[in-house]
Amino acid sequence: MPIRGGLPPRNPRFVGREGLLTRVRGMLGNGPVVLLPSPDHQLGGTGRTQLAVEYAYRHADGYELVWWIPAEQNAGMRAALAGLAQKLGVPESRDLNRTLGAVRDALSRGEPYRDWLVVFENANRPEDIMPYLPSGAGHVLVTSRNPRWTAEVAQALPVPVFDRADSVDLLRVRSTDLAAADADRLAARLGDVPMALDLAAAVREAVGWPVAEYLERYERRAVELAFPTPIRVAWGLAAEALGAAAPADRILLELCTFLASAPISWRLLWAARTLPLDTELARTVRVERRLRTAMRRISRYGLADLDPAGEHLTVHPLIRGMFGQELSSERHAELLRTVRGMLAAADPGDPDNPAGWYRYAELAPHLIHSDLLGGDAEEIRQLVINCVRYHYARGDYDSSRDLAASAVARWRDALGETAEQTLLAAFHLANALRAVGRTADARNLNLQTLRTQREVFGGDDEATLATANSVGGDLRIQGHFGQARQLDADNLVRYRRLFGESFPTALRCANNLAADLRLLGDFRGARALDDQVLRHRQAIFVPGHPETLSSRTGLAYDLFGLGDYAGAAALLADSHLENVPADHPFALWAGRFAAMAARRRGDPEARPLAEANFAACRQKFGDLSVDTLASAVSLANCARAEGALDDAHELLERAVIRYHAVLGDEHPFTLAASAALAGVVRAAGRYADARTIDEEVLSGLRRSVGADHPFALSCATGLAADLAAAGEAQRGRELAADTLRRSRVVRGVDHPDTVACAWNLALTDGDEAARQQALTGLAKAYGDGHPVFRTTAAGQRLETDIDLPPL
């Protein structure tokens, strides 16, 4: 049996289409095929979806995998492709775009399945699915109403109405006692249009109308219409019959007019029970049993499809459209208010919690069709914001950005720029913009939002504080670590005053302040704060909570920065990662820090650990992520420590170029990576080239983070070696002595890098006593047998590596 995903139930009454099915099979061998309405029925109703479903079931045994993708909206299509990623064994990236690209590439390569069928249903914008179209030995089938498909994208196959024989078969399958002549007469009047035939068969079966009575009713209704197409007339008869038999059911179906073609969960319709409704409708939706009965009845009349479990109704776009055209403006407004209230009532809340994501997956497709952005109630707009956040939490940053941008634009016009929910939507839009790499746009929007929130709501408002935290993140990305610290310190005072120091958002703010301190090289201050936050999080969260892991990894980096490599390694033991996915960002940080600690301890496993972490970061974040680039620097340090200078040079050269592109020329991380590159160049004996790099980098670091920052101290250590090699002994000695003095103050006398500075100066001065004192300090820092002593035994200078903390 093939693996199947999302495939609708097979139609047990499917008839005919043998020639079309054969053509589809033949054409798929030459590339993607798109099923379109025939030119004389461009609105549809000719059975494209049913044809695609039948093809999938009929040929399923010839495929290893069959996957059905609803493509009417981007968010739903991307969610279905994300589900396919799991079946293909594609690791999930933090950015859903990377995951979906990996899905396309895996299918194209035929890994792990060579023979597959992927169906894109209702793909009405070719440009939306083109980025996800795989090639290879598998097959792609598309259904669409849009004729704008070029031959370069897919082969078009129009789906016409039935042949008369197929029409007769369909009608007689539904009514076994129907005479062939009567079926022929009915098919002729309905123009052999599949949807019209299905509606006619369903309503006749539901109410027992003989053919003659049905045709009589058909003629009367056709006369009443300006454009009496078979589908419109047949729909009208079915809707009228349903309304006569169960008025509440028709109203329920009218509500579905404002929802998407995606399956409509009974839970969504059940949410209407809390709203003021028509008496009969209220009675229907109030009790689950009655609601499910109504859904079955709607399906019996052919006006919607019901899945076998009775969980979801799916209403064809043509049916929705015809109901909508029948409504008066007053009735339209009334039903729209009900639908919006129903959607809001179904909001599970807490969009960051994966446990509720399936509920948001059911709600999100309906936001556009119900024009939820135009809702005038606060809870309706809150659902929009929660859906923005849901997309973001899942890693679908594009969908989050698009929905947030639409909300900001609509609400600025409708509510004003200073309205609370306009500003909240802007805050989430900035998050999404940052996530897709538009950091400058995110920064500008956040600053504008924060300024307005402070003016309107004050600095202590919770939403204002959340935006201020986001601005702090922008400042860190810009490299303005001192400004971020000032802002986050002010935020923390406000959070603690308002909520107490153990409140989760206050702890997040404290976590951010610790990150600022770490970036500024204040590892003692960061350690004190991280240790405090970790204790609070352990007390309020379950074991293995990601936020606890965040504190643990931050504290581990603090210990690393303080020179306690064994303590950092112990804090990152695997037992603390057992409840967190291996590719979670915090787990990847822990992996990198563990490799860093192993390298400093002289563990030969350091480089394999760093290589695995670099590969995982590339998969999760992509090549241009600051996390991936920091992992590349740490791996290069391992390679240089082993003497693999070519590998280290290649890694660092590529990282420096990308840091320039991502963060800019003057960012401390760009400069720090350049200093690491200078160290590899120096190790290769190219002292003049290393000096050129170091002089420029040290000047930049002193401007951006100051002469006492660990980055600047490490670079100065390298430049002192460059100067000594160039014969500028006095200048090199002065720089080495100044660096040692600063390191003692900043890092401490016993810090391994301070002791390394002391060793280097002792070599320069030829001071044997100072050398012995430095060796004693190195033994205390590293223990006996550490690889550092091979360097000292050779009478060579020591490097002080730069590793980059998370931004």
Domains located in the chain, CATH noted: 3-160 (3.40.50.300), 165-347 (no CATH), 541-664 (1.25.40.10), 687-793 (1.25.40.10)
Sheet holding 3-5, edge to edge: 3-5, 65-70, 116-121, 139-143, 33-37, 155-159
CA-only gyration radius of the chain, Å: 33
The pLDDT tens digits of the residues spanning 221-279 come to 999 998 899 999 999 999 999 999 999 999 999 999 999 888 899 999 999 999 999 89
What is each CA distance from 590 to 477, 575, 774, 786, in whole angstroms? 21, 12, 31, 23
Q: Which tokens sit at 70?
A: 């609803």
Q: What share of the chain is helix, strand, coil (3-state, %, to 5)?
A: 70, 5, 30
The pLDDT tens digits of the residues spanning 578-599 come to 677 787 888 899 999 999 999 9
CB-neighbour burial class of residue 39 (10 A; exposed 0-12, middle 13-18, buried 19+) = exposed
Question: What is the spatial distance between Cα 785 and Cα 131, in angstroms, rounded to a whole number?
Answer: 55
The pLDDT tens digits of the residues spanning 648-677 come to 999 999 999 999 999 999 999 999 999 999
Query: E-strand spans in 368-492?
Result: none
Residue type, 362: E
| Length of the chain in terms of residues written | 807
Average pLDDT, the chain: 93
276 φψ region: left (φ > 0), alpha (ψ -120 to 50), beta (else): beta
DSSP label at residue 49: H
Nearest to residue 584, comparing CAs of 94, 33, 9? 94
The pLDDT tens digits of the residues spanning 598-611 come to 999 999 999 999 99
CB contact burial 367-406 (16+ within 10 A = b; e otherwise): bebbebbebeeeebbbbbbbbbbbbbbbbbbbbbbbbbbb
Q: Distance of alpha carbon 87 from its chain centroid, rounded?
A: 18
The pLDDT tens digits of the residues spanning 81-108 come to 989 998 998 887 777 888 899 999 999 9
Nearest to residue 89, comparing CAs of 619, 631, 627? 619
Predicted local distance difference test score (pLDDT) of residue 801? 94
SS3 call for 119: strand
What is each CA distance from 563 to 485, 637, 642, 748, 749, in whole angstroms? 23, 16, 21, 10, 11
SS3 call for 669: helix
Predicted local distance difference test score (pLDDT) of residue 43? 80
CB-neighbour burial class of residue 267 (10 A; exposed 0-12, middle 13-18, buried 19+) = middle
The pLDDT tens digits of the residues spanning 431-485 come to 999 988 888 999 999 999 999 999 999 999 999 999 999 999 999 999 999 999 9
pLDDT at residue 291 above 70?
yes
Nearest to residue 130, comparing CAs of 32, 42, 37? 32
Nearest to residue 486, comparing CAs of 458, 517, 531? 517
Residue type, 563: G
Question: What is the spatial distance between Cα 423 and Cα 415, in angstroms, rounded to a whole number?
Answer: 10
Question: What is the spatial distance between Cα 1 and Cα 682, in angstroms, rounded to a whole number?
Answer: 61
Share of the chain above pLDDT 90, in %: 83
- Work out the average pLDDT over 31-48: 90
CB contact burial 131-140 (16+ within 10 A = b; e otherwise): ebbbebebbb
Residue type, 197: L
The verdict on whether omega for the bond into residue 112 sits within 30 degrees of 0, i.e. cis, is: yes
Report residue 574's pLDDT band, with 50, 70 and 90 as the boundaries.
low
pLDDT at residue 575 above 60?
no
262 φψ region: left (φ > 0), alpha (ψ -120 to 50), beta (else): beta
- Work out the average pLDDT over 38-47: 87
Predicted local distance difference test score (pLDDT) of residue 393? 86
pLDDT at residue 543 above 90?
no
SS3 call for 67: strand
Question: What is the spatial distance between Cα 57 and Cα 52, in angstroms, rounded to a whole number?
Answer: 9
Sheet holding 264-265, edge to edge: 264-265, 312-314, 305-306
Residue type, 150: T
Contact predicate 561/710, CB 8 Å: yes
Contact predicate 570/563, CB 8 Å: no
Residues 6+ apart with CB under 8 A from 487: 468, 471, 472, 475
Question: What is the spatial distance between Cα 81 and Cα 88, in angstroms, rounded to a whole number?
Answer: 10
Predicted local distance difference test score (pLDDT) of residue 354? 81
Predicted local distance difference test score (pLDDT) of residue 576? 63
pLDDT at residue 711 above 60?
yes
Predicted local distance difference test score (pLDDT) of residue 91? 81
Predicted local distance difference test score (pLDDT) of residue 192? 95
The pLDDT tens digits of the residues spanning 626-639 come to 999 999 999 999 99
Nearest to residue 506, comparing CAs of 528, 491, 487? 491
Residues 6+ apart with CB under 8 A from 265: 311, 312, 362
Question: What is the spatial distance between Cα 263 and Cα 260, in angstroms, rounded to a whole number?
Answer: 8
